[in-house]
Chains A and B, each alone.
Chain A
Amino acid sequence: MRIHEERFEGAVVVHLAGRLDTSTAPEVQAHLESVVGEGVDVVVVGLDDLEFMSSAGLRVLLATAKRLRPTGSLRLFGLNSTVRDVFDVSGFSMIFPVFEDEPAALAG
């Protein structure tokens, strides 16, 4: 798992590359928690280099989104077809705002 961060005013973009699964979820969770802990309003997670996401990844996103409530929001972009399938069957595409690309996600 490679994590790369971009900071904007009021928003942090976290790029995830590789697999988001049982083995890498703790690292990603720790990273996102520290970002949330800074009081950032908008956390954008970029998945365009993500290979796949298992339920461990979904749990990380769910926990992060819950911690951002009620003021902040978690936005996603760059889902490949497999991640999109995972989001669809788990209903996550209905609870997370999903965007085509990074500018769209930042614009909200």
Chain B
Amino acid sequence: MVRERTAELELAIEQMESADTIIDRWTLDGVIHYMNDFGLQTLGYSAEEVVGRRSIYSIVPDDPERLAEWFAVRDQLEANPHRNVHSELQCKHKDGSPVWIAFRNRPILDADDRIVEVFSVGIDITDRRLRESRLAADNRRMVDELAIGREIQLSMLPDGAPEFPMHDEFTVRALLEPAREVGGDFYDFFLIDDRHLCVCVGDVSDKGVPAALFMAVTKTLIVSRGSNDTCPASILRHVNDELCRRNDQSMFVTIFIGVLDTQTGTLRFSNAGHNPPIVRRADGNLDVLDPRHGPVAGVVEGFDYRSDEAVLHPGDQLVMYTDGVTEAMDPDNVAFGDDRLLAVLGGPVPDPTTTVEVLFDAVTAHAGERDAFDDVTILVLAFHGQGRLPSAGCELILDHDRAAIAGALDRLEQWMAERDTPDEDRRALLTVADDLLTNAIEHADGSAPVVTTLAITDGWLEFTVSDEGSPFNPFEVEVPDTDAPLEDRRAGGLGIHLARSLMDRHEYDRTSGRNVVRVSRKINGAGGAEQ
């Protein structure tokens, strides 16, 4: 019996010593009493360097955090000597490299339950830990990259409180509150020409970097097409076709595009599967722009999107948003929903900034502690109305050629028509413009272009013509005899006489080597004939 038992024990010891596990015995003061060959190999020591010494302090890195981990193991063993304690410790190879070991520590007790030794079995988990830490680093880098992606994406959006110094007939206010991930919401607005404003809001189906890229492409397509197209349906058709052609990922995007005629308040809009915008009327009523004109964009190539028209009156606001608003969930999974949206937007209409803030606050309050799952986008376009038209001037540069005059008059006429200049003032200005431009081109020597400007300032039409000819003040030309009988009539000087007569003010200036003739007419004045 005894022999057999001894043989068994020897076998066990042999297996222990040759096992691919680290086996050691140690005392709580840090002295190692035994370590098997595998353990010694793993840590790079010989038995003499380890056994009988407080060598735990050379195996555990001299780093407060690592030491604390080992003290924690010791404290746990002391606190409950009847239990095994599992620990994963970062140890140190003799050459200084880290070795991760998962230990199972078993106290060996004396008759009084005092710990005599600790018996530890450990597995080298260094490879796993290195993999894990590489993964963690990769993860961190990916999170960083996502954050950068998000930043780039947001930086593509125009400022939410833009200034349009030439246009006080409307105001745009926008907000995009990103969810944690890279989302696919976007908004944009830009002037197509000095009369038409394009506004758009969209939401890409997916999230993450692909969605951000898809969003960037969509937004770029809208802007490039919209820069010379005032028809939202045609912009949408073009964007949809382009997206379909390039869409390998089967992503799609909801898009609402509106084009406002800033002079009439007419809004043409086309909607590809997007949440219906709401018109907040000046009187407090709400109109939902519910027509949808086709499927989400990026799916059906060649789809013939159409458009509808709504009219904004002075004081009205167009409120666009994404489903991050209506589908914002409260902690009980109840969506914000259309009813709350309409309730928030009902009632007296504040300024557009307040509209954005109040709606966003309502969505935030609804979500409570919950993190937003989706981007929240709100864009408000407030129309202030005609009559507050831009006073920005029109400047034309004419070739030194009489043939250039007709086109210039067309431009001046159109500019005045767009500003509802009364017929009488418009015709008088054109009469004078023809004469002053003809004078400048005929009298100025050389071939330098003639520059003309037209502006409306405080109810005055102000017109200037300047040329680089030798100094010449046309208003010093003798007034023709307007009482002479037909036979004695001369044609000269009539043009300047008309300019002086049809306009209320006239002056000549010689500045920077240029003749500058400036005439102004009071709009809706009594007419210039008497002056």
List residues of A whose CB falls within 8 A of some B CB.
Answer: 19, 21-24, 51-56, 58-59, 62-63, 65-66, 69, 80-82, 85-86, 88-91, 94-95
Q: Which residue of B lies closest to A50 (CB)?
A: B427
Cα distance A59–B498 in the bound complex, in angstroms: 13
In the assembled complex, which residues on chain A have CB atoms less than 8 Å from the CB atom of B248?
A: none
Min CB distance B463 to A, Å, is: 14
Instruction: Report whether over half of chain B's contact residues are helix, strand or loop; otherwise say mixed.
Output: helix
- Contact: A89 with B502, CB < 8 Å? yes
Known contacts A82-B424, A85-B502; A54 and B482 CB within 8 A of each other: no
Residues A54 and B491 in contact in the complex (CB < 8 Å), given A19-B409, A85-B502: no
A39–B238 Cα distance when bound, in Å, is 63
Given A23-B406, A62-B491, A89-B529, CB of A52 within 8 Å of CB of B431: yes
- How far in angstroms is the closest Cβ of chain B from A26? 10
Report whether B431 and A54 are in contact in the complex, using a CB–CB cutoff of 8 Å: yes
Residues on the A chain within 8 Å of B406, using CB? 21, 23-24
Q: Report Cα–Cα, A78/B484, bound state, in Å.
A: 24
Nearest Cβ distance between residue A70 and chain B, in whole angstroms?
10
A58 adjacent to B431 (CB under 8 Å): no
Q: What residues on B are CB-neighbors of A58 within 8 Å?
A: 491, 494
| Contacts known (A62-B491, A69-B486); A53 close to B431, Cβ less than 8 A | yes
Is A82 in contact with B427, judged by CB distance below 8 angstroms? yes
B interface residues (Cβ-Cβ under 8 A, vs A): 402-403, 405-406, 409, 423-424, 427-428, 430-432, 434-435, 437-438, 480-487, 489, 491, 494-495, 497-498, 501-502, 527-529
Q: Across the interface, which residues of B come within 8 angstroms of A56, CB to CB?
A: 434-435, 438, 495
Q: How far apart are B531's CB and chain A's nearest CB, in angstroms?
A: 9
**A85 in complex: contacting residue of B434, B483, B495, B529, CB < 8 Å:** B529
Pairs across A and B, CB under 8 Å, 8 listed: A56-B438, A82-B502, A85-B527, A85-B529, A86-B498, A88-B529, A90-B497, A94-B483
- Closest CB-CB distance, B251 to chain A, in whole Å? 55
- CA separation between A52 and B427, bound complex, in Å? 6
Complex contact A22–B438 (CB within 8 A): yes
Report A55 CB to chain B, min CB distance, Å.
4
* Pair count A-B, CB < 8 A: 99
> Within 8 Å CB of B402, what residues of A?
22-23
Question: What separation, in Å, do the CA atoms of A19 and B454 have in the docked complex?
Answer: 19
List A contacts of B435 (CB < 8 A).
22, 54-56
What residues of chain A lie closer than 8 Å to B409, measured between beta carbons? 19, 21, 23
Could you tell me the distance in whole angstroms from the C-beta of A102 to the nearest C-beta in chain B? 22
Are A85 and B430 in contact (CB-based, < 8 A)?
Answer: no
A66 vs chain B, min Cβ distance (A): 7
Q: Which residues from chain A contact B437 at a C-beta distance below 8 Å?
A: 22
Residues of A close to B482: CB separation below 8 A? 89-91
Q: With A58-B494, A62-B489, A85-B529 known to touch, is A23 a contact of B431 (CB < 8 Å)?
A: no
A57 to chain B, nearest CB (A): 9
Residue of B nearest to A89 (CB): B501
CB distance from A11 to the nearest CB of B (A): 19
What's the least CB distance linking B517 to chain A, in Å?
A: 15
CB contact under 8 A between A55 and B498, given known A21-B409, A23-B402, A69-B486:
yes
B430 to A22, Cβ gap below 8 A? Answer: no
Q: Which residues of chain A are near B484, meaning CB under 8 Å? A: 91
Which A residues are CB-close (under 8 A) to B527? 81, 85
Partner of B427 from A22, A69, A80 at Cβ < 8 Å: A80
Q: Smallest Cβ distance from B500 to chain A, in angstroms?
A: 8
Q: Which residues of B contact A80 (CB under 8 A)?
A: 427
Contact B431 A86 (CB under 8 A): yes
A90 to B497, CA, bound (A): 8
On whether the beta carbons of A22 and B434 are closer than 8 Å, the reply is yes
- By a CB distance below 8 angstroms, the chain B residues around A66 are 486-487
The chain A residue sitting closest to B491, CB to CB, is: A59
What is the bound-complex CA distance between A80 and B405, given in angstroms?
A: 23
Chain A residues near B501 (CB-CB < 8 A): 85, 89
Instruction: Please determine whether A59 and B431 come into contact, CB atoms closer than 8 angstroms.
Output: no
Q: Which residues of B contact A94 (CB under 8 A)?
A: 483
Q: Is the CB–CB distance between A55 and B502 below 8 Å?
A: no
Question: Contacts A69-B487, A81-B527, A91-B482: A55 and B427 contacting too (C-beta < 8 A)?
Answer: no
Q: A54-B435, A55-B435, A81-B424 are in contact. Are A23 and B498 (CB under 8 A)?
A: no
Shortest distance between the CB of B211 and any CB in chain A (Å): 56
Q: How far does the alpha carbon of A55 sit from the alpha carbon of B409 in the complex, in Å?
A: 15
CB-CB nearest in chain B for A88: B529
Q: Is the CB of B498 within 8 A of A54?
A: yes
How long is the Cα–Cα vector from A90 to B486 in the complex, in angstroms?
Answer: 12
Closest residue to B529 on the A side, CB-wise? Answer: A85
The docked-state distance in angstroms from the alpha carbon of A52 to that of B498 is 12
* Inter-chain contacts of A82 with B (CB < 8 A): 423-424, 427-428, 431, 502
In the assembled complex, the Cα of A58 lies from the Cα of B482 at a distance in Å of 12
Q: Are B487 and A85 in contact (CB under 8 A)?
A: no
A-B contact sample (11 more), CB < 8 A, given A54-B438, A82-B424, A82-B502: A19-B430, A21-B406, A21-B434, A54-B495, A55-B435, A56-B495, A58-B494, A59-B491, A62-B486, A69-B486, A69-B487
Q: How many Å lie between the Cα of A41 and that of B528 in the bound state?
A: 35
**Contact: B491 with A55, CB < 8 Å?**
yes
CB B506 to nearest CB in A, in angstroms, measures 13
